[in-house]
Structure 1
Amino acid sequence: MTIIHRFLKTPEGLAGALLLAAFVLVALAAPFFFPRDPLSIAGPALLRPFQDWSLPLGTDRLGRDVLAGIFHGARTSLAVSLAAAAASIAVGAIVGTLAGFGGGWTDEVLMRITDAFQTVPGFLLALAFVSVVGPSLGVVVAAIALSAWTGPARIARAEVLSIRERDYVASARVAGMHPLEIAFREVLPNALPPVLALASVIVAQAILVEAALSFLGLGDPNRVTWGGMIAEGRTVLRSAPFLSIVPGIALVLTVLGVYLAGEGAVETAAKRRSLA
């Protein structure tokens, strides 16, 4: 039985995979179903859902299509979460590898820097960074990565500390390989699996942080985001609650799918280790 089959046989994995598949399909289908700018006016303002089947989820205060916003908002969430997760894991893995393999003052300096970043709540760090640099998609990705790299760094360091004294590492030293080459060619690939296990947590965190920043008006003003849609609907919450409820449901289901997929992956890995 392959790893994918084992993953899909877990209830969490199957549920998470279905939710994530729907999320990805929505994101990829956005330019095909809604080729127009989702920020453009599509109809009368505050049209309620299911009153006009050309605008099935209605319109917001400016007459923009809510369903188009959901589809294009999924693209923004997908781009931000994957880019932020990749950047934070890459930075964390490099820092953790250098700290664990180098030891001594290198380990001490890098871990103290990691401690300094961990003392500041991640969202506050991202909020401060975006406030200072300015809102844009790249800045939001950098801000989230800046607040999330410490976890991968600590796990990578712990794995490298347990790997660096193994026989094949000693053989590489005897063969005359450069320490950095040993660290990144021999040690890091074997230390990566536990680090990659954090990917689902970081992706879910990135989706929530991006939505929160957009809710506060610090997202990319040129892109539709679910957080921005929720904030837009806040001013007419009593008369048109669907403007906040619909993107809120999309946000909850996406984050739930990421977490369930992560739980399924952890359970699959545990079963695989027990069978080994």
Structure 2
Amino acid sequence: MSFFTRLLRSPEGAFGMIILAALVLVALLAPILFPGDPLRIAGPALLPPFSDPALPLGTDRLGRDVLAGLMHGARTSLTVGIAAALMAIVLGALVGTAAGFAGGLIDEALMRVVDAFQIVPSFLLALAIVSVVGPSLPVVIAAIALGAWADPARLTRAQVLSIRERDYVAAAEVIGMHPLEIALKQVLPNALPPVLALTSVIVAAAILTEAALSFLGLGDPNVVTWGSMIAEGRNVIRSAAFLSIAPGLALVVTVIGVYLFSEALSRVIAGGRARP
């Protein structure tokens, strides 16, 4: 049975993949259905939903199309979530492999750095970095990744400590392979599967962190985000609650989908590793 078949047989996996597939489809269709700048004025201000076929979800206080903002916001959320997760996994895997394979003082030094990053809450670290450097999408992605790489590093180190004692690693050392080549070609690929299970969790956390930063006014002002849409709607929450409800629901559904997919992925990976 293939990996994706086992993933789809899980209710959590199937439901999570449906949500994520819909999110990806929305993100891909956004520039086709709503070309141009989603922050431009599209109609009268505070137009209620379903009152104009051309603006099905209405407009905000400045007359911007809410549906266009939601669809383009999905692109921003996916970009931030996936890019931050990849950066965190790559950095964590490299640091964890170096620490676990080298051992000794290198291991101690790298693990103290990991401890230092784990002490600081990831959101506060991202908040501090963005506040100092300035709000832009690359800075937000890097700030979120710096707050998320410590857990993959610690998990990778634990896997490497177990794998480096196996016979095929000893055989590679006997035939004269360079330690760096052994670490990257023999040890790291076998240590990655449990670490990759963290990817979905990091993606969900990154989406939430980006939304929180945008809500506080520390997101990229040149792109539309769900967090900034929620912040825009809070000023008229009594008269136009839909401005905050629509992006809020999109954010909740996205995070639920990512967490369901992550749960199913963890089970499938654990089941595969448990097989003889």
Q: TM-score band (shorter)?
A: over 0.9
Q: Is the 8 A contact 2:117 2:150 kept in 1?
A: yes
Map 1:50-61 → 2, pairs under 5 A:
50-61=50-61
Aligned-residue offset at 1:150: 0.3
Q: Which residue of 1 aligns with 2:244?
A: 244
RMSD, aligned CA: 0.9
Report the TM-score when normalising by structure 2: 0.98
- Normalising by structure 1, we get a TM-score of 0.98
How far apart, CA to CA, are the structure 1 residues paired with 2:258 and 2:241? 26
* Residues 1:66 and 1:201: Cα distance change in structure 2 (over 3 Å): same
Q: Which residue in the other structure is 2:148 paired with?
A: 148
Structure 1 counterpart of 2:69: 69
CA distance in 1, matches of 2:24, 2:140: 20
Shift of 1:273: 4.2
Hey, what's the Cα distance between the residues in 1 that align with 2:23 and 2:78? 8
3-state secondary structure, aligned to 1:35: coil
Matched AA of 1:255:
V
Match for residue 218 of structure 1?
218
In structure 2, the CA distance between the partners of 1:22 and 1:110, relative to structure 1 (3 Å rule), is same
The code of the aligned residue for 2:42 comes to A
Give unpaired runs (5+ residues) of structure 1: none
CA distance in structure 2 between the partners assigned to 1:96 and 1:107 by the alignment: 9
Range 23-32 or range 179-188, more displaced: 179-188
The within-5 A match list for 1:8-47 is: 8-47=8-47
Deviations 1:173-209 (A, max 9, x none): 1222221111111110110001101001000000000
3-state SS of 1:64 partner: coil
Looking at structure 1, the residues matched to 174 and 271 of structure 2 have their Cα atoms a distance apart, in angstroms, of: 37
2 CA distance for matches of 1:109 and 1:131?
Answer: 29
Give CA-to-partner distance per residue, 1:60-116, whole Å, 9 cap, x none.
Answer: 000000000000000000111000000000000000000000000000000000001
Query: For 1:133 and 1:31, how far apart are their aligned partners in 2?
Result: 29
1:197 aligns with 2:168: no
Q: Per the alignment, do residues 108 and 259 of structure 1 end up closer, same or farther by CA in structure 2, a change over 3 Å counting?
A: same
Equivalent residue letter for 1:171: A
Q: Does the 8 Å CA contact 2:88/2:148 hold for their aligned counterparts?
A: yes
Match of 1:79 in 2: 79
Matched residue type, 1:222: N
Contact 2:126 2:147 in 1 (8 A): yes
Which residue of structure 1 aligns with residue 123 of structure 2?
Answer: 123
Q: Deviation at 1:36?
A: 2.0
**1:179-190 matched pairs, under 5 angstroms:** 179-190=179-190
- d(CA) in 1 for partners of 2:170, 2:264: 36
Separation of aligned partners in 1, 2:51 and 2:156: 54
**1:274 CA displacement:** 4.8
Does the residue aligned with 1:51 lie in a helix, a strand or coil? coil
Following TM superposition, the consecutive aligned residue runs of length 4 or more in structure 1 with deviations greater than 6 angstroms are none
Match of 1:260 in 2: 260
Partner Cα distance (1:151, 1:235) in 2:
38
| Structure 1 residue 271 displacement after superposition | 3.6
- In the other structure, the counterpart of 2:103 is 103
Q: Distance in 1 between matches of 2:271 and 2:165?
A: 28
Q: Is the 8 A contact 2:200 2:262 kept in 1?
A: yes
Q: Distance in 2 between matches of 1:149 and 1:257?
A: 22
Deviation at 1:3, TM superposition (A): 1.5
Aligned residues: 276
Tell me the distance in 1 between the aligned counterparts of 2:211 and 2:246: 14
Equivalent pair of 2:38/2:68 in contact (CA under 8 Å): yes
For 1:170 and 1:270, how far apart are their aligned partners in 2? 26
Q: How far, CA to CA, are the matches of 1:228 and 1:158 in structure 2?
A: 39
Cα distance, 1:275 vs structure 2: 4.9
8 Å CA contact retained: 2:193, 2:269: no
Q: Percent identity?
A: 70
Separation of aligned partners in 2, 1:149 and 1:275: 29
